[in-house]
């Protein structure tokens, strides 16, 4: 069965209405074999979308947070019931292997559980007042409609990270998915609609799906009725969103590019390192923001480690991600292949040696052999994020210099070190160590859990999503003071008598 026909069958089971198909809409094409599942109608009236979200906010913010959490709990139940179908659709539309598709939907379920607990734990502070008979506190209030712009590589999980937190915080959600993955968005929204129907008293417009291209995202980002824009994608896209939102003094939560490195020291367990490198560098065909792109190895073990990686890469199963045993599926499209091919040529021009991989498979879809390139220095192509399975290998002899090399790129998302030295591990995690938002020891840079805040610094955008206190981005912070005395003392001892 073609990937497109399988996708159509899943959409029918998940209850996606036939009215989404349009002769002149956005093409829904599977990267597995290039087959077209149909065309998805573009959302016609973005002004009406913002109007509905604004009206929904005025109702939703009055509902107690634990009650709002009940909707997210029901969403988690619906996701559990539809996990296999939705995961399969992720595989068909984004090209992920089966276990990764299942893992992405599990991530959605996990953030539902996190958000349900959060709905009973949204907290503030009690602050000591200098004025007698006064009570000062800090609270968090619902913010307003939230626009979520998501990328193709995590077509549903990123929405869930944002939407589940926004909903329990009292905010309606507008979702503009990647035009490359509209089917998974339609399916997810159909699942959410079932949860909303069970919930019973959710306002119309609480969650809306916008199908459109870059222009739709730009128009919504510029709308002053949307106080927060959460955007995941390239640094180029993030810069445009940030400038648009800042021009109207709105908030932007940005999760952008990564150029993630692993330091491997002489004391490292190379068996563990090889496994971590393989998953981090080739998982999702190198199309994760947390993909391992730079391997910084001590020169005393570089030849040994590269030889082991070469052997592993030569046997990597590349092919249809639906097939058991396949570990590397397709790139999303021809544009991605052009970036892959161009980067390899530039790497060679800049002194690199392709150790293994780099070839395109002769089959329908865009399949490539993941590449390892040994580089003499951290040249321009190494400092640029290429969204494809290319691993650049550089060597070092001094640990502090290796950390400085890791930090000397524009991006700052994820990082890791493999070492059995407590001193090296702690130095890597110190204030003068990794400058990334995520820093790991003896774990690869890819595959974050939802309990921690996810995000990075510099060109990665500075945003934080998912766990910890990331929920605060979706709320309005307010300092409150109550005078329960019979006098009116002023702060700082100011006297003003009339």
Which residues of 299-435 form beta strands (DSSP E)?
353-356, 371-374, 390-396, 411-412, 414-418
Instruction: Give the helix/strand (H/E) hosting 482.
Output: strand 475-483
Angle subtended at Cα 291 by Cα 289 and Cα 294, rounded to the nearest 5 degrees: 120
Q: At 368, is the secondary structure helix, strand, or coil?
A: strand
Q: Residues 415, 420, 422, 424: is their CA dihedral positive or negative?
A: negative
- Residue 340 token pair: 């892959």
For β-strands 228-232 and 251-255, DSSP reports them as: parallel
Catalytic residue among 255, 385, 424, 465: 255
Are 326 and 356 contacting, i.e. CB atoms less than 8 angstroms apart?
no
In whole angstroms, give the CA distance from residue 74 to residue 116.
10
In whole angstroms, give the CA distance from residue 166 to residue 63.
13
**Alpha carbon 158 to its chain's center:** 5
Q: Which residue has the tokens 């003003």?
A: 496
Q: Which of 74, 288, 25, 42 is nearest to 176 (CA)?
A: 42
- Other CB atoms within a 10 A radius of the CB of residue 2 amount to 16
Q: Which residue has the tokens 């992920």?
A: 96
Q: Which of 260, 264, 302 is nearest to 283 (CA)?
A: 260
- Residue 319 token pair: 């092919």
In whole angstroms, give the CA distance from residue 287 to residue 446.
11
In whole angstroms, give the CA distance from residue 478 to residue 173.
22
In whole angstroms, give the CA distance from residue 199 to residue 197.
5
Are 413 and 437 contacting, i.e. CB atoms less than 8 angstroms apart?
yes
In whole angstroms, give the CA distance from residue 488 to residue 354.
76
Catalytic residue among 169, 289, 416, 436: 289
User: Is 21 exposed, middle or buried, given 0-12, 13-18 or 19+ CB atoms closer than 10 A?
Assistant: middle
Angle subtended at Cα 471 by Cα 88 and Cα 202, rounded to the nearest 5 degrees: 70
| Catalytic site includes residue 169 | no
Query: In the chain, how long is the greatest CA-to-CA distance?
Result: 88
**Alpha carbon 391 to its chain's center:** 21
Q: Which of 31, 288, 24, 273 is nearest to 158 (CA)?
A: 288
| Catalytic site includes residue 457 | no
Are 31 and 365 contacting, i.e. CB atoms less than 8 angstroms apart?
yes
In whole angstroms, give the CA distance from residue 391 to residue 413.
17
Catalytically active residues are 255, 289
């Amino acid at each position: 069965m073609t990937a497109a026909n399988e996708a159509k069958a899943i959409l029918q089971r998940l209850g996606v209405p036939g009215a989404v198909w349009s002769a002149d809409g956005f093409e829904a094409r599977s990267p597995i074999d290039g087959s077209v599942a149909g065309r998805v109608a573009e959302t016609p009236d973005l002004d009406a979308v913002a109007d509905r979200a604004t009206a929904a906010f005025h109702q939703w913010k009055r509902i107690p947070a634990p009650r709002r959490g009940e909707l997210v709990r029901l969403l988690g139940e619906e996701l559990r019931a539809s996990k296999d179908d939705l995961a399969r659709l992720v595989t068909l539309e984004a090209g992920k292997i089966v276990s990764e598709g299942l893992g992405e939907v599990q991530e959605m379920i996990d953030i539902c559980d996190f958000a349900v607990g959060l709905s009973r734990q949204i907290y503030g502070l009690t602050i000591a007042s200098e004025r007698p008979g006064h009570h000062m506190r800090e609270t968090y209030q619902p913010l307003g409609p939230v626009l979520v712009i998501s990328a193709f590589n995590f077509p549903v999980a990123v929405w869930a990270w944002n939407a589940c937190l926004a909903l329990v915080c009292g905010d309606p959600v507008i979702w503009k998915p990647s035009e490359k993955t509209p089917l998974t968005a339609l399916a997810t929204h159909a699942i959410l609609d079932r949860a909303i129907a069970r919930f019973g008293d959710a306002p119309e417009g609480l969650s809306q799906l916008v199908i459109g291209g870059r222009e739709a995202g730009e128009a919504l980002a510029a709308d002053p009725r949307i106080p927060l824009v959460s955007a995941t994608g390239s640094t180029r896209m993030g810069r445009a969103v940030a400038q648009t939102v800042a021009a109207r003094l709105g908030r932007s939560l940005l999760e952008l590019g990564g150029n993630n490195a692993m330091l491997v020291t002489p004391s490292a367990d190379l068996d563990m390192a090889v496994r971590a490198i393989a998953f981090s560098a080739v998982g999702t065909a190198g199309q994760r923001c947390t993909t391992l792109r730079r391997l910084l190895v001590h020169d005393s073990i570089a030849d040994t480690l590269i030889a082991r990686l070469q052997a592993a890469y030569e046997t990597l199963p590349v092919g249809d991600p639906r097939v058991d045993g396949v570990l590397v599926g397709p790139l999303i499209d021809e544009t991605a292949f052009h970036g892959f091919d161009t980067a390899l040529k530039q790497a060679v021009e800049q002194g690199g040696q392709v150790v293994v991989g780099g070839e395109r498979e002769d089959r329908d879809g865009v399949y490539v052999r993941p590449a390892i390139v040994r580089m003499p220095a951290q040249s321009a192509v190494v400092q640029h994020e290429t969204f494809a399975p290319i691993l650049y290998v550089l060597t070092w002899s001094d640990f502090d210099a290796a950390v400085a090399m890791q930090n000397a790129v524009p991006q700052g998302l994820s990082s890791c070190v493999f070492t059995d030295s407590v001193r090296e591990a702690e130095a890597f995690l110190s204030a003068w160590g990794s400058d990334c938002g995520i820093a790991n020891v003896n774990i690869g840079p890819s595959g974050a859990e939802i309990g921690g805040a996810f995000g990075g610094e510099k060109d990665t955008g500075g945003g934080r999503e998912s766990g910890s206190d990331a929920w605060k981005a979706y709320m309005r912070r307010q300092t409150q003071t109550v005078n329960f005395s019979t006098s009116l003392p002023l702060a700082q001892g100011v006297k003003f008598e009339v």
